[in-house]
Amino acid sequence: MTAPIISIQNISKHFGGTRALHEVSFDVMPGELHAICGENGAGKSTLMKILSGVITSYDGELAVDGKTVRFTGTRDAESVGISIIHQELNLVEQLSIAANIFLGREFRSGYLFRNDRAMEDAATELLRSLDCDIPPYKLAGSLRVGDQQLIEIAKALSLNSRILVMDEPTSALTEAEVDRLYRVIAKLRTQGTTILYISHKMDEVFNLSDRITVLRDGQFIGTRNTKETNAAEITKLMVGRDIESLDLGPRNARGQKILEVKNLSLAWPGHARGYRLKDVSLELHRGEVLGIAGLMGAGRTELLECLFGASALAPTGEIILDGQSIAPRHPSEAKKAGLALVTEDRKRLGIFNTMNVGRNITMCSLKDAVRGPMLNQRSERELSESMVSKLRIKTAGLTPPIGSLSGGNQQKCIVGRWLLTHPKVLLLDDPTRGVDVGAKAELYRVIRSLCSEGLGVIVTSSELPELLTLSDRIMVLSEGRKTAEFAIADATQEKIMEAATQSWQSYPSA
């Protein structure tokens, strides 16, 4: 028998009153791709952070190559060949791509001077191995989420790690980028790299893994050989029950028009196409969900940012909300008009990481908790508790830091924050990215419930089954233009993909 390359023995971890892990034990064999599955809050990311030296305080033992280790930081883990690609991106936005990849390991010319050219050349080769042609001198903060994820992968590859932890690495990638990542993983495996792979996507887990370990509520539930199990069994282990096919009940009756967008365009200076959006028009009615489909770069996020007054440049066209023409140039103006936006990148644009759970939820509705000239803490607490209950947010209370919650529960806090503003239209930009199957179902039911109260919802998603489940209509964008719109009865994945891959051979001036 081959000895384990990693042995995890009785690992436990608490964050204040929240139990993240409880006596978790299992082994990882050399060269295997070992999938780690579980709902949000199951402890997957916490365990991987312990393994990679991000979290250094815990109970239990960790052994690598048969030797007990106790990492004091990520450098210790890297010294034995372990690196991690985090679910939440961990780049320095003000630095270039090359500087991010080699941060702390900068190339030098002599003793004093940094060799930027050498780092850029090395970064270019790493990016080429990922079939990525982004210039290495671009600032990381200027990239979309999908491109930033690729930089994280390149950074991990630069360490030549023999044990690679991937925490939801495809959550923000397009289908083409996912295929590219699969090719990289296959190459790494031929070189003997051991991979621990966290994912909520069952097709991904079963296509890639040799074995699957399931965690639930911070505890080890079981390990299965991938070829000897199926998605239904793994899902049951994850949630502790059989998952029935998702039935959200009858669709809501379509109400009166709440939002109309006419010929919305957004310029793209310096780009050959000249625009990010071109003459996009849409309608939204009370009680309905309008899904926005499209590949990465199609303009889904840019469309929602324009509606919410969050685009860097002012768009052209007309936005009519509840019969009134509006032109928000700041999110505060959009919020006042009755719009709310849940962004795709909760770490950069969603949570307030230094604040607790309760204040993250009430941040946009504090005026409702004011009594006289003072903020009434009891009223604020009641507002937070109403959302914790309604959205079933898993938390030890309102006082723990928002960062102690799982990614899915952080997302629920953001949704709750905007629901407290009583919006007329809720804009959801890929709201379930990195959220497990159970939490997704809860969010779907919340969205449908809100629509039954007369709210209009626009939702983007990179997962077509999600749009087909949630939406009453689906609009498709390709390269900044609207290419199709389907009633849900007529929509299929094939039709949507055909419309999403239409390419404009010539670009008229914006």
What percent of the chain stands above pLDDT 70?
93
pLDDT above 90 for 172: no
Structure tokens at 510: 């914006």
Show the CA angle centred on residue 470, arms to residues 469 and 474, nearest 5°.
95
Q: Which residue has the higher pLDDT, 245 or 236?
A: 236
Ranges 125-139, 228-242, 286-300: which has the least confidence = 228-242
Report pLDDT for 223. Answer: 96
Secondary structure of residue 214 in the 3-state scheme: strand
Q: For position 163, what pLDDT does the model report?
A: 93
Mean pLDDT for the stretch of residues 407-419: 84
Q: How many residues does the chain have?
A: 510
pLDDT digits (tens, 9 = 90+) for 277-324: 999 999 999 999 999 998 767 899 999 999 999 998 999 999 999 999
The DSSP code for 401 is B
The confidence band for 199, taking pLDDT boundaries of 50, 70 and 90, is: confident
* Both structure tokens of 28: 């990882």
pLDDT of 396 above 80:
yes
Q: Which of 49, 63, 55, 58 is nearest to 19 (CA)?
A: 58
Average pLDDT score over residue span 405-432: 86
Q: What secondary structure letter does DSSP report for 329?
A: S
What global pTM score does this model have? 0.59
Per-residue confidence (pLDDT) for residue 241, from 0 to 100? 53
How far apart CA 449 and CA 162 sit, in angstroms, is 48
- Extract the tokens encoding 390: 């309604």
Contact present, 476 and 487 (Cβ < 8 Å): no
Looking at residue 151, its pLDDT comes to: 87
Mean local confidence (pLDDT), 166-195: 82
Higher-confidence residue of 62 and 128: namely 62
Please provide the average confidence, as pLDDT, over all residues in the chain: 86
**Start-to-end CA span in the chain (Å):** 65
For residue 407, give the 3-state DSSP assignment: helix
Phi, psi of 215 (to 5 degrees): -115, 145
Cα–Cα separations (whole angstroms), residue 306 to 301, 339, 502:
9, 11, 23
Cα separation, 249 vs 55, in Å, equals 43
Q: How many CB atoms lie within 10 A of CB 439?
A: 25
Taking residues 110-117, what's their average pLDDT? 85
Which segment of 79-83, 263-267, 437-441 scores lowest on mean pLDDT?
A: 437-441
What confidence category does residue 259 fall into, taking pLDDT thresholds of 50, 70 and 90?
very high
Quick one: tokens of 310? 């969050």
Q: Which of 188-202, 229-243, 373-387, 405-419 has the lowest mean pLDDT?
A: 229-243
- Report CA 365 to chain centroid distance, whole Å: 25
Q: Which residues of 65-74 are buried (b: 16+ CB within 10 A; e: fewer)?
A: eeeebebeeb
d(CA 292, CA 306): 14
The pLDDT > 90 percentage for the chain reads 42
What pLDDT score was predicted for residue 90?
Answer: 78
- pLDDT score, position 278: 94
Q: Which domains does the chain have, with CATH numbers?
A: 6-239 (3.40.50.300)
User: Is 365 within 8 Å of 335 (Cβ atoms)?
Assistant: no
Q: How far apart are CA 504 and CA 502, in angstroms?
A: 7
Confidence of residue 171 (pLDDT cuts 50, 70, 90): low
Query: pLDDT class for 503, splitting at 50, 70, 90?
Result: low
In single-letter form, the type of residue at position 57 comes to: S
237 — phi, psi (to 5°)? -65, -35
DSSP category for residue 254: P
Structure tokens at 482: 């609207």
| Residue 507 predicted with pLDDT over 60 | no
The token duo for 413 is 């806090």
